[in-house]
Structure 1
Amino acid sequence: MPKPVLLHLGDDVQWNRDLYNKLQERFNIMRSYSMNREDFKNALSHNRFGDFAAIYRPFWNTGGEMGAWDEEFISLLPRSCKIYASAGAGFDWVDTQRLARRGIIYCNSAPACTESVADTAIWLILNAFRNFTWSSSAARSLDPGKFREAHQDIAATTHNPNGFSLGIIGLGKIGYRIAQKAHVAFEMKIIYNDVNRLPESVEKGVSAQYYENLDDMLADSDCVLLATPFVGEKVMNAERFAKMKRGSRFVNIARGKLVDEVSLLAALKSGHLAFAGLDVHYDEPNVNPDLARLPQVELLSHTAGASLESHMGFEKIGLQNILSFFDTGKAITPVNLQWLSQPKL
């Protein structure tokens, strides 16, 4: 039997050469390297990559030049394609439901960046309570007056996070790791809302309290952390921000499109929220200029999961997903199995 074809998007594998050699033994590998959207669409239309059975994208910053994976692309995939294994935790750029209805399993590589994202979240949470942003910007201004102001006045507006409640929206693998760090290091009270409640034995690991109703959790949280995947609609809007405690804090390490930034800005300006820490933004790479001007806001460039360890893991987990699927029929980190039972298109 001839080897199945695998389409490799983007750059060469850098760290997991032994695993990639196994892939080369099992598949005929076709490469797209870096292609713009029209060129890639044309290549798919003309079956330039053959009837490939799998797609592999090892890094989030390469192989994605063609843009969103929507109906325009998915309708052109060959019927032979069974799995798409890609780097990164988020998948808001790909219609995973549409892939499933074509019989294609989509796999992310979220476990690889869990530690990096959790560390960033902890830094943003700590910053939300202590407002290191104010202190840092005052020092960097080289203005003695601003330095003295921060030195003298910051204590009256900040708190240690110990004993405060951290409300987590989405207690998945990343959310749970953040909860572990916050609970152990800061002795924070962990409360959470999710589509499904975790087993009691898992909750006990961080002394977590489950809230079936999100609004109730928001009302009891001193800091709200958004850690849920984007599923097509905003989670935090004006109504939800109004449910939060006056003087509470908000941190987002999930996806920018989960948040109505106009409502967030209004809540910060009114003093209803004391601080916001954002790794992600609604219109990336464009940052909301009004949020950027506020001293009670910390902004990052979507780098929570950016570490060498994360990149090495993305590459590895993608390879493992494909090898596992063709060896056992099961992928390691699928995210769209709930839709695979629907009729194929």
Structure 2
Amino acid sequence: MENKPIVLHLGDAIKYNHAFYNDEFLARFNVIQATETDREGFIEALKSKKYGDFSALLRLHFQTGGFMGQWDSELISLLPKVYESSLLPVRDSTRPTLTSLASTKFGMPTAQGPQMRQFLIPRWSAIALHPTHLLTSLNKHTQDLIDAKALSLMKSGSRIVNTARGRILNEDALIHVLEIGHISAAALDVHYNKPQVSPKLASMDNVTLTTHIGESILN
């Protein structure tokens, strides 16, 4: 039998794109539903490796699957070793956090290891980077996270929006895929070398640049 990567499903069942989930996602991943209802039980499950060395966590939205409480250092330290070489855990200046590189194909997967990244990115037609939704703040784990390789994996004609941190998205790689037409458009509210804005990006008709001061506008 094929040894498929394990995805640990937290909370409610999927809501959208059942055909994609059943025909493609389940063909690539072994999805296991977590049965715990509180933090203590979940911690014990992680300690005992009840769900094995899972490669990803699937949580559809913030109103479900939150029984474990805050994803802090206590929980993150119990994750399988695969996360040490993937995008997780991500640590910012104040606390360890669990980040997400998410697809909205059938809800909102919360976190993923390297196999999930390779599976999801080619299926995206857009990426929206946001500090409280898709990615955490800039740190050594997230700098250049969306690089030339990640952009090349996206569908041709995709769009990308970055309102998180400028250095999460490699601008040189972005310029290249915009020039060759692989990415059709970009909107950047944050910039790689802030406060300087890339002259090349500013000159492109399919790029929108703003100044990351939405909280200061009057209307």
In which range does the TM-score fall when normalised by the shorter chain? 0.3 to 0.5
Bigger share in helix: 1
Q: Which of structures 1 and 2 has the larger relative contact order (alpha carbons within 8 angstroms, sep 6+)?
A: 1
Question: TM-score, normalised to structure 2's length?
Answer: 0.46
Question: TM-score, normalised to structure 1's length?
Answer: 0.31
Q: Specify the structure having the higher radius of gyration (Cα).
A: 1
